[in-house]
C-alpha cells in the first residue's frame, strides 16, 4: 500500500516496528523515521495499519506515539481492522489538538494490496473523506464513505462475518469434493461460475489445491476480527451462531500451531474432524 502511494507521486515518511519490513519502500524513496511521532511531525496525512487493537494503542497512544506528534490540521487514518470504540476514542484525543481522524479498514487481501484494488470502508467527516480520497484511489477501487468515525470498522465487521461463513462453506465443499473423488480443479471452475461464485473460490480455493497455506491474511488476525465482531454483537444483544462456530474452528487451527498460516488452512480443521488427511 505504501508502494502504491509512492507510485502515485506521494512523498512518504515511514515507520515500522520491524525496521527490515520498511526496506522495500525506503529503497523506492521513502524517508525512514525512528518513531511514530516523527512520522506525524513530518507528514500532513498519516496512515496506520498494524495487527491488533493493542498495537493501535501503542502506535497512537504510547511513548513517542502519533498523538505526541499531532498538530492542528493533520489527518490521521487508521486502516487497521480494530475496535470501533478504539478509533472513536483516538479521534477524540486527536480533536483536542485540532487534528482529524478517519477509520478505513480494507478488504481484498495481499492481492488487492499489491494490485491497488482494495475495498476501503471509511468512517470520517465529509471534508476528511474528500481530502483522503486521492490517496485511497491509489490503493483501492471500491471506496465508500460509510458515515462518521467508527462506521468503517463496523462495515469491516460485516465484511468479516460474510467471509467467515463463506470460508467455512468453501472449505467444506473442497473436503466434500475430495472425499467424493471429484476433480477439484474442474469442480472449483464449475461452481465458481454459478450462484456459489465468490472471491474465496476464485482466490483461495486454488491455493488450497496447490497445497499453499501461506497467508494473504493470517489465521491469528482473522480470529481477532471475529472476536471483535462477536464482542460488538454482544453489546447489541445480537446472536451470531455461525460466526461463533467458525471462530471455534479457527481457534482449533491455531492450537495446532497454524495461527500464522493463511485463512484457507481451515480445510485442515475439517480434515481433523474426519480423522484423516483428505486434500
What is the phi/psi pair of residue 63, to 5°?
-60, 130
Range 2-148 has CATH code 3.40.50.620:
no
Tell me whether domains 2-148 and 154-274 share a fold.
no
Beta carbons of 261 and 213 less than 8 angstroms apart:
yes
- Which pLDDT belongs to residue 273? 80
Residue extents of the structural domains in the chain? 2-148, 154-274
- Grid coordinates representing 181? 473423488
Q: What is the β-pairing status of strands 118-123 and 106-107?
A: antiparallel
Please tell me the distance from the alpha carbon of residue 168 to that of residue 150, in angstroms, as a whole number.
Answer: 27
What is the percentage of the chain residues whose pLDDT exceeds 90? 94
83, 156, 254, 268: which one is catalytic? 156
**Confidence band for 182, pLDDT divided at 50, 70 and 90:** very high
pLDDT tens string 63-118: 999 999 999 999 999 999 999 999 999 999 999 999 999 999 999 888 899 999 99
- Fold held by 154-274: 1.10.1040
Any idea which residue has 460474510 for its cell? 162
What value, to the nearest 5°, has the Cα angle with vertex 269 and ends 266 and 270?
95
- Rounded to the nearest angstrom, the gap between the alpha carbon of residue 224 and the centroid of all alpha carbons in its chain is 11
**Confidence band for 263, pLDDT divided at 50, 70 and 90:** very high
**Confidence band for 275, pLDDT divided at 50, 70 and 90:** confident
Q: Is 275 helix (H, G, I), strand (E, B) or coil?
A: coil
The model carries a pTM of: 0.92
- Which pLDDT belongs to residue 276? 77
Cβ contacts of 46 within 8 Å, gap of 6 or more: 39, 40, 66, 74, 75, 76, 77
**How many residues are listed for the chain in this entry?**
279
Q: Is the pLDDT of residue 258 over 80?
A: yes
Mean pLDDT to the nearest integer, 243-253: 96
186 is catalytic: no
- Grid coordinates representing 155? 462495515
- Which pLDDT belongs to residue 279? 83
pLDDT tens string 4-27: 999 999 999 999 999 999 999 999
- Which pLDDT belongs to residue 271? 85
- Which pLDDT belongs to residue 278? 82
Q: Kindly report the average pLDDT of the chain as a whole number.
A: 96
Amino acid at each position: 500500500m505504501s508502494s502504491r502511494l509512492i507510485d502515485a507521486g506521494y512523498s512518504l515518511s515511514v515507520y515500522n516496528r520491524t525496521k527490515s519490513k520498511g526496506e522495500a519502500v525506503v529503497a523506492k524513496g521513502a524517508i525512514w523515521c525512528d518513531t511514530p511521532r516523527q512520522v506525524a511531525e513530518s507528514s500532513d496525512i498519516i496512515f496506520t495499519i498494524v495487527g491488533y487493537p493493542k498495537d493501535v494503542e501503542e502506535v497512537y497512544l504510547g511513548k513517542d506515539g502519533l498523538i505526541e506528534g499531532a498538530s492542528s490540521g493533520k489527518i490521521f487514518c487508521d486502516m487497521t481492522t480494530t475496535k470501533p470504540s478504539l478509533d472513536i476514542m483516538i479521534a477524540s484525543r486527536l480533536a483536542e489538538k485540532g487534528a482529524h481522524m478517519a477509520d478505513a479498514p480494507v478488504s481484498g487481501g495481499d492481492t488487492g494490496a499489491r494490485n491497488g484494488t482494495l475495498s476501503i470502508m471509511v468512517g470520517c467527516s465529509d471534508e476528511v473523506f474528500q481530502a483522503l480520497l486521492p490517496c485511497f484511489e491509489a490503493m483501492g477501487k471500491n471506496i465508500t464513505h460509510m458515515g462518521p468515525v467508527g462506521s468503517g470498522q463496523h462495515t469491516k465487521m460485516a465484511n468479516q462475518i460474510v467471509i467467515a461463513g463463506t470460508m467455512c462453506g468453501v472449505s467444506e465443499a473442497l473436503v466434500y469434493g475430495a472425499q467424493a473423488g471429484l476433480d477439484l480443479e474442474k469442480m472449483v471452475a464449475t461452481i465458481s461460475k454459478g450462484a456459489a461464485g465468490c472471491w474465496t473460490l476464485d482466490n483461495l480455493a486454488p491455493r488450497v489445491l496447490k497445497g499453499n497455506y501461506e497467508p494473504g491474511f493470517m489465521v491469528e488476525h482473522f480470529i481477532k476480527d471475529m472476536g471483535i465482531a462477536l464482542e460488538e454483537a454482544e453489546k447489541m444483544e445480537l446472536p451470531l451462531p455461525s460466526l461463533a462456530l467458525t471462530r471455534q474452528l479457527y481457534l482449533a487451527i491455531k492450537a495446532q500451531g497454524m495461527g500464522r498460516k493463511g485463512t484457507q488452512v481451515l480445510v485442515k480443521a475439517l480434515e481433523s474432524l474426519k480423522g484423516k488427511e483428505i486434500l
